[in-house]
Structure 1
Amino acid sequence: MVQAEKKLFVLDTNVLLHEPLAIYSFDEHDVVVPMTVLEELDQIKDRKKDVSRDARVAIRALEDCVSGASPEALVQGVPLTGVEPNSLAGTLAIFPDHQVEFEDQVALPGNNNDNAIINSALYLQQIHRDKAVVLVTKDINMRIKAKGAGLRHVEDYRSDQLVDDIRYLAKGFAELEGELWLRVGEVDSQQRGRFTEHTIARDQIDEEQLYLNQYLIDQGKDFCGQVKALTPDKVTLRDLGRDRLMGYHAWGISPKNIYQGMAMQALLDPTIDLVILTGPAGSGKTLLALAAALEQVVEQRRYERVIVTRNTPEIAESIGFLPGTEEEKMMPWLAAITDTLEVLHKHDESPSSSLQYIMDKANIQFKSVNFMRGRSIQNSFVLLDECQNLTPSQVKTIITRMGEGTKLVCSGNLAQIDSNYLTAVTSGLTYLVERFKMFDGSANVYLNGVVRSKLASFAEENL
């Protein structure tokens, strides 16, 4: 086996903020962290934002690697020994970029931090002519600048991405060509409770990637199935039927299309602990989730309370400057929930009284994601709204809080990410969809189509 040629990776600050342990992701290759990056991490670590925690973790990881090394060894590179020692591990060096003197005039001007990091990579490219020097950054504009300045190798940090293109993200359903039963041969059908389940050969379904609780619909008018069991050559489909799905209702709300029907079925299914709803603005994610929550808390008494939470925007991450209790401070960010409650009760004789009555009856609680760590939530219907702005670690923190008898609904639109440190392929919502698609206690539905209004539908398609 021939060992690959060693490369030298120069890391930008946003890489360490995105993945604090990124220094361990480059196998046998060498890693360089410019001094400017350390200065930026130092400035960020004391901010009252979630990103400050990532900065502190990155700093501790760097300190663990370089502690005890002499200044000379630090510049030359110290062996990278991570949690799992690797015989092919490369080195980690701290580059004193403020002392750089170029042989040729190729440096970018000014005291801009991005320019200083690019200059470090350019300098290393000059002195390591026999080695590929690669600048790794998640900043698109910085990658363009580096290329324009003469850096031959520039890359995005992708080692933690589960999908390369958001268009290939699992939608939770597959639309089959033609009618399924016209091309299926042998079928083993059994009655299980209220449902009929059909076991057929996998090669009779054109869909290559099948996963548990995935919905299947064909171009006919009747069939809709859900994958309940998988073997290498067989698939068991629960026959739901389109008419049955369209007949679901919760708190006076009925599906307007087959996609909402699939979502409603998942929301009302007591065997599914996690429901992931994605889709464009106005597709009904919050309305369906809240209607299902009220139906199961107030009418069916399956859960004891409704907990609504979401991440607060980074421009105002700390909610302490607002007066009142935690719930009162959260109200500006949870206006979408109160708007939805008003829609559900707009035809009541006294909508405002009905709203307060239902909030008390369903024990609706508004919580901040910032205060979810350490809790154990039991017998609750939890709605995590706008979770496209959460990091994978934040999503993990919330899901691991869910106790017995709790159902979690995560909703979000990957086209509306507000965080400077996330993209559609690195969002916690994307990780959630991909990691849980083979978990038998979860279902994922992409709500295709805007039903809010004709205006909203036109804007979604044309703006």
Structure 2
Amino acid sequence: MTEQSIIYVLDTNILLHEPFAFLSFQEHEVVIPMTVLEELDNIKDRKKDVSRDARVAIRALEDTLTDASPEEVMAGVELPNQTETQTKPGRLSIFNDFTLKQKSGALSDNDNDNRIINTALHIQEMNPKKRVVLVTKDINMRLKGKGAGLAYVEDYRTDQLVDDINYLTKGYHKFTGDFWQQVSNCESETDGRYTQHFIDKNLVPGAFINEYLIDEEKTFAGKIIGIEGDTASVQDLGYERLMGRHAWGIHPKNIYQGMAFDALLDPEIDLVILTGPAGCGKTLLALASALELTVEKGLYDKVIVTRSTPEIAESIGFLPGTEEEKMAPWLAAITDSLEVLHKQDESMAGSMNYIMEKANIQFKSINFMRGRSIQNALVILDECQNLTASQLKTIITRCGEGTKIVCSGNLAQIDSNYLTALTSGLTYIVERFKDYQGSATINLNGVVRSPLASFAEENL
């Protein structure tokens, strides 16, 4: 290897976060300490979501090293090239850190993190001409590594599509002042009830399909429906018309909810992603639109509601009953929203039972979505900020012909110990799907639940 080659020593949490992470380091060396395999072995049988990732990582390592001799495993086995520009294959090796003798100045070997750090220190000492990097998502371990003498310690960022959550796509572009004052050259054509404008793409930095355009003066609202060269095609939706969108008796309280309703009620859009703070109306808008499309318009045969089930406090133990009865506590947000939609009815409980049967609303556990093929349904995936990209892929790929999926979540309320706002599956699909013609993203900016909720969101 050349002097510019790098040796990456992976911590256990990297493989739990992304089981195939060892394939992401291109032409460089990847070292897995034996302690990491021990930790994966201990984790794989736990009754937690992370145990599946541990098993996937173990199988992936086994598939890569299955035909290698012990000597080849220690020296390094060639990995397949991951990109067309990669000039040479990377290498994967297992390092038996249990054979390391305790050196003066090294960390105590009675802790797994310390053994992994000591492994990186040993490899750094044995390879003075190479850059040895310890890769871990554990902030404290990165600090300990630096303190112990490691020259390079990094977080795993290969899966991050944005460097700062503030730059995450909001799904709309807001112009300062009046939109038309900023348009110097525009051609328009009318087709039926809608007018289409052709504007300079440079007016909207980073323009993408189904991005909404609004202005501060509340004079214009539109949506990008096509991009060709330097020209963006904008459908003129009309500010007042957008604010007039409604479903199941619910009207938008701000323009962001108006844009959300436009996307939710559009049968051409198969994936709607709703982000925003607690109390901005994500669940209520999704459910109201689901009932409108299923009961009133008959576009879908059923409504499937699912979500991840992390606990923010101590576990209350096992819950009795069927799958839907077990999911009921987790999906109380849906029943709360149903109550809001029918609180004016003479018999709210009777109305709710009737609508749940009429719309064929089914509460399903996310654990049983794998292998299904969902046809002609509207799927509401609530609280999906707690899901990884691979989990969201599993659910979205279940959706068959005539199915629409609504993903909602708040990146400020992640309950998983293994995810951050930057690595959440919600962040991942927002960025991955922004250029897909059949999807729309709306950041519901503003809390409408109550003044109390708004103050808490801003000040706590």
| Counterpart residue type for residue 288 of structure 1 | L
| Counterpart residue type for residue 358 of structure 1 | I
Question: How many angstroms does 1:61 deviate by?
Answer: 2.2
Segment of structure 1 superposing worse, 49-58 or 230-239: 49-58
Secondary structure at the aligned position of 1:355 is classed as helix
| Counterpart residue type for residue 331 of structure 2 | L
Segment of structure 1 superposing worse, 356-365 or 40-49: 40-49
1:12-411 superposed matches below 5 A: 12-81=11-80, 88-103=88-103, 105-109=104-108, 111-203=110-202, 205=203, 207-313=204-310, 321-411=318-408
CA gap of 1:278–1:88, structure 2 versus 1, over 3 A, is same
Tell me how far apart the structure 2 counterparts of residues 315 and 93 of structure 1 sit (CA, whole Å).
38
Contact 1:65/1:81 (<8 A) preserved: no
Tell me how far apart the structure 1 counterparts of residues 317 and 63 of structure 2 sit (CA, whole Å).
34
| Counterpart residue type for residue 88 of structure 1 | K
Question: How many angstroms does 1:3 deviate by?
Answer: 6.4
| Counterpart residue type for residue 275 of structure 2 | T
Question: How many angstroms does 1:53 deviate by?
Answer: 2.4
Question: How many angstroms does 1:314 deviate by?
Answer: 6.8
Tell me how far apart the structure 2 counterparts of residues 403 and 78 of structure 1 sit (CA, whole Å).
40
Secondary structure at the aligned position of 1:384 is classed as strand
Question: How many angstroms does 1:71 deviate by?
Answer: 3.3
Tell me how far apart the structure 1 counterparts of residues 402 and 170 of structure 2 sit (CA, whole Å).
26
Tell me how far apart the structure 2 counterparts of residues 20 and 315 of structure 1 sit (CA, whole Å).
25
Matched pairs, number: 459
* TM score, norm. by length of structure 1: 0.94
Contact 1:320/1:329 (<8 A) preserved: no
CA gap of 1:395–1:160, structure 2 versus 1, over 3 A, is same
Tell me how far apart the structure 2 counterparts of residues 69 and 271 of structure 1 sit (CA, whole Å).
51
Question: How many angstroms does 1:74 deviate by?
Answer: 2.8
Tell me how far apart the structure 1 counterparts of residues 112 and 360 of structure 2 sit (CA, whole Å).
50
| Counterpart residue type for residue 295 of structure 1 | E
Question: How many angstroms does 1:109 deviate by?
Answer: 2.3
Secondary structure at the aligned position of 2:346 is classed as coil
Segment of structure 1 superposing worse, 93-102 or 132-141: 93-102
Percent of aligned positions that are identical: 66
* TM score, norm. by length of structure 2: 0.95
Structure 1: gaps spanning 5 or more residues: none
Question: How many angstroms does 1:84 deviate by?
Answer: 8.0
Superimposed CA distance per residue, residues 234-282 of structure 1 (whole angstroms, 9 cap, x where no aligned partner): 1111111111111111111111111111001111111111110000011
Contact 1:197/1:238 (<8 A) preserved: yes
Tell me how far apart the structure 2 counterparts of residues 78 and 184 of structure 1 sit (CA, whole Å).
58
Secondary structure at the aligned position of 1:419 is classed as coil
Tell me how far apart the structure 2 counterparts of residues 350 and 75 of structure 1 sit (CA, whole Å).
71
Contact 1:106/1:150 (<8 A) preserved: no
Segment of structure 1 superposing worse, 74-83 or 133-142: 74-83
Tell me how far apart the structure 2 counterparts of residues 57 and 210 of structure 1 sit (CA, whole Å).
37
Secondary structure at the aligned position of 1:55 is classed as helix
Secondary structure at the aligned position of 2:45 is classed as coil
CA gap of 1:106–1:72, structure 2 versus 1, over 3 A, is farther
Segment of structure 1 superposing worse, 323-332 or 90-99: 90-99
CA gap of 1:83–1:48, structure 2 versus 1, over 3 A, is farther
Question: How many angstroms does 1:350 deviate by?
Answer: 1.5
| Counterpart residue type for residue 91 of structure 1 | R
Secondary structure at the aligned position of 2:15 is classed as helix
Q: Give the match for residue 438 of structure 2.
A: 441
Contact 1:319/1:330 (<8 A) preserved: no
Secondary structure at the aligned position of 1:93 is classed as strand
CA RMSD, 1 decimal: 2.2
Tell me how far apart the structure 2 counterparts of residues 427 and 30 of structure 1 sit (CA, whole Å).
27
Question: How many angstroms does 1:78 deviate by?
Answer: 2.9
Segment of structure 1 superposing worse, 241-250 or 48-57: 48-57
Contact 1:314/1:419 (<8 A) preserved: no
